Amino acid sequence: MEDAVQFGHDGHEGVRAVFARAGHAIGLAIASVANLVGPERIIISGEGVASYDLFEEQTRQTFVRQAFGAAADCELIVRPLPFEEWARGGAAVAAQTLVAPDRTRRATT
């Protein structure tokens, strides 16, 4: 992967095309989740963020084309955090969901 990132940064057209295609797939995935859930923001983080500049444009363009309704207003934020930080955040959200679920959901089920 390090070599691919380096080739991409060096301007290798074939490698940049692969990253653009990946950005398109990521944009579709993010838009799908946003369309279903309607979050105010989505934070993009993790190990791959170091090469995000290679697929950012395609990711954002695809997201904008595919998101609709409230999802279209969703903010995409890039946060280059180490694994421990974003994993801790995901674990906190999961714990909150299990320990203190939304009361309105309980009332309707």
- State pLDDT tens for residues 22-72: 999 999 999 999 999 988 989 888 777 778 999 999 999 999 999 999 899
- This model's pTM is above 0.85: no
DSSP class of 102: -
Q: Which helix (H) or strand (E) holds 75?
A: strand 75-78
CA separation for the pair 63, 74 (Å, rounded):
10
